[in-house]
A and B are shown apart, each in its own frame.
Chain A
Amino acid sequence: MSFGQGGSSALAPLAIAVPIAVAAILQAASERLPRKVVDAVATATAAAVTGVAAALLAASAGGRVVTWSAGWLPHHGFSVGIVLVVDPVGAGVALVAAGLVTLALVFSWRYIEAAGGRYHALMLLFLAGLEGFSLTGDLFDMFVFFELMGAAAYALTGMKVEDPSSLQGAFNFGIVNSLGAYLSLMGIGLLYAHTGQLGLPQLGHALAGHRPDALVLGAFVLVMAGFLVKGAMAPLHFWLADAHAVAPAPVCLLFSGVMVPLGTYAAFRVYWTVFSGTLPPDDVGRAFVVLGTLTGVVGAVMCLGQRNFKRLLAFSTVAHVGLFLVALGTVDADGTAGAIVYVVGHAGAKGALFLLAGILLDRYGSVDEVNLHGRVRDLRVERWLLVAGGLALACLPPFGTALGKSLAEDAAGAAGYGWAPVLFVGVSALTGGAVLRFTARVGWGLGTPPIVESGTTTGDEERETQPLSRVPITMVIPVVVLLAGALAVGVVPGVGRAASAAAHLFVDGAGYRHQALSGAPTGAVSTAGSGWTTGGVLIGLLSAALAVGVAAAGIWSRAVRRRLPAVAVGAPALKVLRRLHSGHVGDYVAWMVVGVAALGGLVGLPLR
Chain B
Amino acid sequence: MSVYPYLVAGWLMAVGIIGIVRGRNLVQTVICLSVAQSATYVLLLSVGYQRHATPPVFGEPASKPNFHVVDPVVQALTLTDIVVSATVTALLLSLAIQIHKRHGTLDPNELNTLEG
Q: Which residues in A have some Cβ–Cβ distance to B below 8 Å?
A: 140, 147, 150-151, 154-155, 158, 161-165, 167-172, 174-175, 178-179, 182-183, 185-186, 189-190, 192-193, 198, 241-242, 245-246, 305-306, 311, 453, 455-457, 578-579, 581-586, 589-590, 593
Q: Are B98 and A586 in contact (CB under 8 A)?
A: no
How far does the Cβ of A235 sit from chain B's closest Cβ, in whole Å?
14
Q: Are A182 and B99 in contact (CB under 8 A)?
A: no
How far does the Cβ of B112 sit from chain A's closest Cβ, in whole Å?
6
Q: Are A182 and B95 in contact (CB under 8 A)?
A: no
Contact flag A164-B88 (CB < 8 Å), given A185-B40, A192-B47: no
Q: Which residues in B have some Cβ–Cβ distance to A below 8 Å?
A: 9, 13, 16-17, 20-23, 26, 29-30, 33, 36-37, 39-40, 43-44, 47, 73-74, 77, 81, 84, 87-88, 91-92, 95-96, 98-99, 102-103, 108-109, 111-116
How far does the Cβ of A69 sit from chain B's closest Cβ, in whole Å?
15
Contact flag A589-B113 (CB < 8 Å), given A174-B95, A175-B92: no
How far does the Cβ of B38 sit from chain A's closest Cβ, in whole Å?
9
Q: Are B116 and A305 in contact (CB under 8 A)?
A: yes
Pick 7 A–B contacts, CB within 8 A, sort by A.
A164-B99, A164-B102, A171-B96, A174-B92, A186-B40, A245-B114, A584-B108
What CA separation (Å) do A189 and B47 show in the bound complex? 8
A175 contacts which chain B residues (CB < 8 A)? 20, 29-30, 33, 92
What CA separation (Å) do A541 and B92 show in the bound complex? 46
Pick from B17, B40, B87, B96: contact of A189, CB below 8 A.
B40
Pick from B44, B88, B111, B113: contact of A151, CB below 8 A.
B88
Given contacts A182-B13, A593-B17, 10 further A-B contacts (CB under 8 A): A174-B88, A175-B29, A179-B20, A186-B39, A246-B114, A311-B116, A581-B115, A584-B109, A589-B17, A589-B20
A457 contacts which chain B residues (CB < 8 A)? 113-116
Q: Are A171 and B99 in contact (CB under 8 A)?
A: yes
A584 contacts which chain B residues (CB < 8 A)? 108-109, 111
Pick from B20, B39, B43: contact of A585, CB below 8 A.
B20
B16 contacts which chain A residues (CB < 8 A)? 179
* 9 closest cross-chain pairs (CB), A and B: A583-B114, A456-B116, A165-B113, A164-B102, A193-B47, A586-B21, A185-B40, A189-B43, A167-B99
Q: Are B108 and A585 in contact (CB under 8 A)?
A: yes
How far does the Cβ of B65 sit from chain A's closest Cβ, in whole Å?
15
Contact flag A158-B21 (CB < 8 Å), given A182-B39, A584-B108: no
A581 contacts which chain B residues (CB < 8 A)? 115-116
B88 contacts which chain A residues (CB < 8 A)? 147, 150-151, 154, 174, 178
Closest to B43 in A: A189
What CA separation (Å) do A241 and B39 show in the bound complex? 29
Contact flag A306-B116 (CB < 8 Å), given A151-B88, A171-B99: yes
What CA separation (Å) do A582 and B40 show in the bound complex? 29
Count A/B pairs, Cβ under 8 Å: 133
Contact flag A167-B39 (CB < 8 Å), given A242-B114, A245-B114, A593-B17: no
Q: Are B23 and A167 in contact (CB under 8 A)?
A: no
Closest to B92 in A: A174
Identify whether the interface residues of B are mostly helix, strand, loop, or mixed: helix
Pick from A154, A164, A186, A311: contact of B43, CB below 8 A.
A186
How far does the Cβ of A583 sit from chain B's closest Cβ, in whole Å?
4
How far does the Cβ of A458 sit from chain B's closest Cβ, in whole Å?
9
A185 contacts which chain B residues (CB < 8 A)? 37, 40, 44, 81
Pick from A162, A164, A590: contact of B103, CB below 8 A.
A164
Most chain B Cβ neighbours within 10 Å, of A183, A185, A593? A185
Q: Are B21 and A186 in contact (CB under 8 A)?
A: no
What CA separation (Å) do A456 and B114 show in the bound complex? 8
How far does the Cβ of A198 sit from chain B's closest Cβ, in whole Å?
8
Closest to A458 in B: B113
How far does the Cβ of B49 sit from chain A's closest Cβ, in whole Å?
11
A150 contacts which chain B residues (CB < 8 A)? 88
What CA separation (Å) do A171 and B108 show in the bound complex? 11
Q: Are A165 and B23 in contact (CB under 8 A)?
A: no
What CA separation (Å) do A13 and B52 show in the bound complex? 40
A246 contacts which chain B residues (CB < 8 A)? 114
How far does the Cβ of B26 sit from chain A's closest Cβ, in whole Å?
7
What CA separation (Å) do A593 and B13 show in the bound complex? 12
B33 contacts which chain A residues (CB < 8 A)? 175, 178-179, 182
Most chain B Cβ neighbours within 10 Å, of A241, A581, A586? A586
What CA separation (Å) do A162 and B101 show in the bound complex? 9
What CA separation (Å) do A75 and B62 show in the bound complex? 31
Q: Are A582 and B115 in contact (CB under 8 A)?
A: yes
How far does the Cβ of B35 sit from chain A's closest Cβ, in whole Å?
10
Closest to A591 in B: B21
What CA separation (Å) do A9 and B68 show in the bound complex? 36
What CA separation (Å) do A589 and B30 show in the bound complex? 13
Pick from B13, B23, B37: contact of A586, CB below 8 A.
B23
Q: Are B98 and A167 in contact (CB under 8 A)?
A: yes
